[in-house]
Structure 1
């Protein structure tokens, strides 16, 4: 059923890039924010400007991670370390929190301007899982998860939501640690071995593997199937509709 092993009765879905076409919006927001910061830093220090790569840098250092972790991880790849600052740091501060806030403002603006579109194959798959009686949750590092689900018109397809707000409240470590996926399984009363994780991010696939889940499905939207498998995906598809077709 649904291309899943018989013992898997719970489905845990990432949001951006799995359910909604927002991964490119996030990548564009990260690039705009980082390029602005890196350009000003290069001018100040008299060194060449090296832009943020919206494919490689996004996939390797940012995608799937909590916002502040993405800032730290990417900057570390460039040998840059900033003070943490505070969540209410303004855009003029040179801190991890300030850069994360700038990125969030950019992505919210882009979502307001462009709207949110869900992947048809994903909506069909989640609907089929619901009709088959499988439990369903969204697991996202985004603090804007609920707003994105509502804007895409798919909020009612899910029973639980573990997002950036919940992770902060419960002090859950972000992906690639498995904490948020494990919390979603607990919320649905499922053991990890009886749950499937659906992810397009390398960090998210790592989280699914680290959590000992029954199946880790990688969704390849950007031509990184081999990397998804290397990071722990059991199977890789281009769209969740392929799993429906495998019945």
Structure 2
């Protein structure tokens, strides 16, 4: 390579460096801002995770402390003072509160807590259904049969995780209304369902016999629970 070529290359390198420095001076703040945002975002994410963990631990400790008290009234008071910004965690607190309210004889409060969970769209569907189901069972003596039937039929829809338990409740409403044949038919359907548990299967058999029916024992599913 000639001295002239070397000189030209050095000049070109110098020009490129000058251009690079000029660009850095003009737009370097963008890169700095990007670094700040990345680091700040990571720090904020870690802060939120740490805060969520601390809240969950505090809530768990509070729930354990509440449940360790000696009486339903004391447990109820302790649970009533707990809260969480997490919808699922708050639903669990509400359901525990409802359980203790029931034990303390305050069925109205139990139903209120459960219904609050059942209608909360931010809570997972399974918790909403469990809460709604429990609230209905607690209102067997205070809510009219037509309303309970309508709501249990919704819970008995295909694909519902509480379907068979809801069908059982519908059968109990049939029994209370004197519609024995309909009740036996529902219990027969429960017996033949592949998802039936051993406990529910046994209850269905017993009630069918008690109602004067004959259980259809052909091709009964084998229950694993």
* TM-score, length basis structure 2: 0.26
Relative contact order (C-alpha < 8 Å, sep 6+): which is higher? 1
> Which structure has more strand as a fraction of its residues?
1
Q: Larger C-alpha radius of gyration, 1 or 2?
A: 2
Q: Which has more helix, going by share of residues?
A: 2
TM-score for the superposition, normalised by structure 1: 0.24
